Amino acid sequence: MSDTLKLYGVPFSQPVRAVMWLMLYKSEPFEMILTNPGSKGDNGSRNPAFLAKNPAGTIPTIEEANGFTLGEAHAIMAYLCNKHGWEDVYPGEPQARAKVDWYLNFHHRNVRDASVGLVAPKIRKDLDIPQAFQDQARATLTSALKALNGGWLEGNTYLTGEHLSIADFAAYVEIGQLQAGFTNVYDFGDFPNVMGWLETMKQVREHDTVHTVLAELGDISVEAPAMETIKNANISALKALKSKLAELGG
Ligand SMILES: N[C@@H](CCC(=O)N[C@@H](CS)C(=O)NCC(=O)O)C(=O)O
């Protein structure tokens, strides 16, 4: 059995992109095992075989050759940093680390849940997500962006200071997907510090590889993307990833 780490997921998933980005940023090879979120089919995250690896049935999930499995993007990124000694993006010094953990904990209810609420209704028209839910998501995100703009990013290049960390990867895969150039479903005009940080993050190594799926999907603010567009975005994203992993020997 190969000892390359397996990453279960799809590039369309925000938390999967965070893990992919960390690994590519650190030039760490991995094998992507395509796993359809929510599906009970053979390659689905709700299939019994997958639930044995991650009882929550969510992607990303990783698996090592020795059978160790782990779910939750933030736990996975922290584990990989601990394992490989990547203290540049997850500092060892307790207070610096605590600042990263602070954001990672804040993220779940304030950024993640809200940003999903802005994008999912556009892509999954079939789910008929109630307008009240969408409005609440937008309000929650706006509050979170106020905190980022006036707090974390005030006078800082990255979320926790002058150094890129896994907090930035976690935040950008959610917030960044909303900007013009990608889905274009949120106007960041009121948040100049957030806009500056979005530009900075675009320069981070492997940004484009990880975000191929969104660049291909394009603007969904007016019209939901056709199935064909979604399919082609996935194909392009996997092609970009495959070619990067081939370079890394994964
Ligand atoms: N808190 C989890 C969220 C993971 C998550 O929501 N993944 C979605 C895909 S983006 C999923 O697997 N959904 C399938 C399901 O819940 O059945 C993390 O950060 O890893």
Q: What distances in angstroms separate CA 180 from CA 37, 154, 205, 218, 247, one per listed residue?
A: 26, 22, 20, 9, 30
How many Å lie between the centroid of ligand 1 and the Cα of residue 16?
9
Where residue 156 falls among pLDDT bands split at 50, 70, 90?
very high
If you average pLDDT over residues 127-151, what whole number do you get? 94
Residue 203 has pLDDT above 60, yes or no: yes
In this structure, the number of other CB atoms found within 10 A of the CB of residue 187 comes to 11
Ligand 1 within 6 A of CB of 11? no
In this structure, the number of other CB atoms found within 10 A of the CB of residue 236 comes to 16
Ligand 1 within 6 A of CB of 60? yes
Listed residue (69, 95, 242, 97) closest to 165, CA to CA: 97
Ligand 1 binding pocket mutation candidate from 58, 124, 173, 234 (most atoms within 8 A of CB): 58
Same domain, 121 and 172: yes
d(CA 86, CA 217): 32
Same domain, 25 and 100: no
Same domain, 102 and 188: yes
Same domain, 174 and 126: yes
206: alpha, beta or left, given left = phi > 0 and alpha = psi -120 to 50?
left
**What is the span of the domain harbouring residue 102?**
94-217
pTM of the model: 0.97
- Computed over every residue of the chain, the mean pLDDT equals 95
Residue 44: the pLDDT is 96
Q: Enumerate residues 6+ apart whose C-beta is below 8 A from 42.
A: none
Ligand 1 binding pocket mutation candidate from 33, 59, 110 (most atoms within 8 A of CB): 59
If you average pLDDT over residues 225-229, what whole number do you get? 90
CB 86 within 8 A of CB 164: no
In this structure, the number of other CB atoms found within 10 A of the CB of residue 127 comes to 9
Ligand 1 within 6 A of CB of 59? yes
Same domain, 98 and 119: yes
How many Å lie between the centroid of ligand 1 and the Cα of residue 59?
5
Residue 34: the pLDDT is 96
Domain holding 243: CATH number? Answer: 3.40.30.10
Q: Is residue 67 part of a domain?
A: yes
**Going by CA atoms, what residue is nearest to atom 2 of ligand 1?**
72
In this structure, the number of other CB atoms found within 10 A of the CB of residue 96 comes to 15
CB 138 within 8 A of CB 132: no
Residue 179 has pLDDT above 90, yes or no: yes
Q: Which atom of ligand 1 is nearest to the CA of 56?
A: 16
For 230-241, the pLDDT digits (tens) are: 989 999 999 999
CB 36 within 8 A of CB 45: yes
Q: Is residue 226 part of a domain?
A: no
For 34-68, the pLDDT digits (tens) are: 999 999 999 999 999 999 999 999 999 999 999 99
Structural domain count, the chain: 2
